[in-house]
Amino acid sequence: MALSEYASVSLAASRHECTHAPRVELRQLEHFLAVVEEGSFTAAAGRLYMVQSSLSASLLSLERTLGTDLFIRGRRGAELTDAGRALVEPARAALRSLQVARDAVAEVSGLLHGTVRIACLPSSLPVAFDIGRTIRLFNQKYPGVEVKVVRAGAPAMVGMVAEGQVDFAVTPSVEGKLGKLSFQSLIRTELGLVCPAEHRLAGARNVEPQDYLDELILDLPRGWQARELFDRVLAEQGAERKTSLEVDDWVGALALANRGTGIAYGPIGCIADTPFAGLDVATIVGAPTWELGIATRDEALRGAAGRAFLAAYLRDCASTQAELI
């Protein structure tokens, strides 16, 4: 059984209260934060691979131990009470302390145990930077290390790294939002248009906005680097979309473009290794540069497992890129 299932933490306000302080199991705090981060019991139960009734029972037990309600349960999901909001940061601190303990043990046990948390959008990563391959191989070598992938948009990923919620993020560069984080570039490539191979724009060079804005534009969500870069190009040239359809991920946009629904945009250097053989690209006037890389805190990753996984991922990326050349 995992260490967190046995361990408990005192939430006493002072040393004098320690002998009478409520004892909270760390797994209850994990359950609490999952609901906070997912916004509902249903989504949190799915993330934790638990049945919802077991999750609810765990949190009801936590509320009884603390003597207060943590959530307002209603149609809009699970909203935090004042007491719930007060618990969020102490809960995160307690789990970070547990992670430090696990990582310290991993340092001297040959990575027999540990946890790696990574923020990324796996389905949107180019094939050359597929993190799933590294997870599979790493798990075979270190079966006792748990790897968790957290899905989020680029701005949210940066915050997760800065706050220590994840070890690192595989993310497009977020201009002006990296703060004190380090960013190691994996690929830099121009933004371009993506269309079916038989489309009138396929293979075109230096396309002006008036040549493609009559088309249905398959837009990515706001906050994505490619969307911000594309918006900037149009703004600089005083142009606006006539029609658009927002698609919630890169693969989905490519799939629709491949079917001829509309034209997409994205990093040209990442189109060749997509699963859609019927796509072509067109370069655009004033094309900006899109960049994908690794965001970490300035100091070294705190855990042996995190450092080992990142090193393995970078080796895999370099190996795959060499094969594609």
User: How many Å apart are CA 177 and CA 181, to the nearest integer?
Assistant: 9
Kindly state the tokens that stand for 21: 């302080």
User: How many Å apart are CA 192 and CA 230, to the nearest integer?
Assistant: 9
pLDDT above 70: residue 299 = no
Q: Whose CA is closest to 185, among 172, 176, 197, 194?
A: 172
At 283 the pLDDT is 95
User: How many Å apart are CA 260 and CA 150, to the nearest integer?
Assistant: 32
At 301 the pLDDT is 58
At 76 the pLDDT is 67
pLDDT above 60: residue 230 = yes
pLDDT digits (tens, 9 = 90+) for 24-41: 888 899 899 989 988 888
User: How many Å apart are CA 69 and CA 83, to the nearest integer?
Assistant: 7
What is the pTM (predicted TM-score) of this model?
0.62
pLDDT above 80: residue 176 = no
At 14 the pLDDT is 38
User: How many Å apart are CA 145 and CA 183, to the nearest integer?
Assistant: 25
At 322 the pLDDT is 60
CATH code for the structural domain at 187-291 = 3.40.190.10
Q: Locate the domains of the chain by residue range.
A: 1-91, 187-291
**Torsion on CA atoms 155, 158, 160, 164, rounded to nearest 10:** -170
Q: Whose CA is closest to 150, among 173, 131, 133, 137?
A: 131
160 contacts: CB under 8 Å, gap ≥ 6: 119, 150, 152, 166, 169
Question: What one-character DSSP code corresponds to residue 45?
Answer: H
Of the listed ranges 77-81, 84-88, 230-234, 261-265, the one predicted with least confidence: 77-81
Range 229-251 average pLDDT: 90
pLDDT averaged over the chain? 82
User: How many Å apart are CA 189 and CA 290, to the nearest integer?
Assistant: 5
User: How many Å apart are CA 100 and CA 281, to the nearest integer?
Assistant: 47
Range 153-160 average pLDDT: 80
pLDDT digits (tens, 9 = 90+) for 98-153: 777 766 666 555 666 778 889 988 777 777 888 999 999 999 988 888 899 988 77
pLDDT above 70: residue 15 = no
* Domain boundaries 1-91, CATH class: mainly alpha
Say if CB 304 and CB 114 are below 8 A apart: yes
At 20 the pLDDT is 52
Range 285-291 average pLDDT: 92
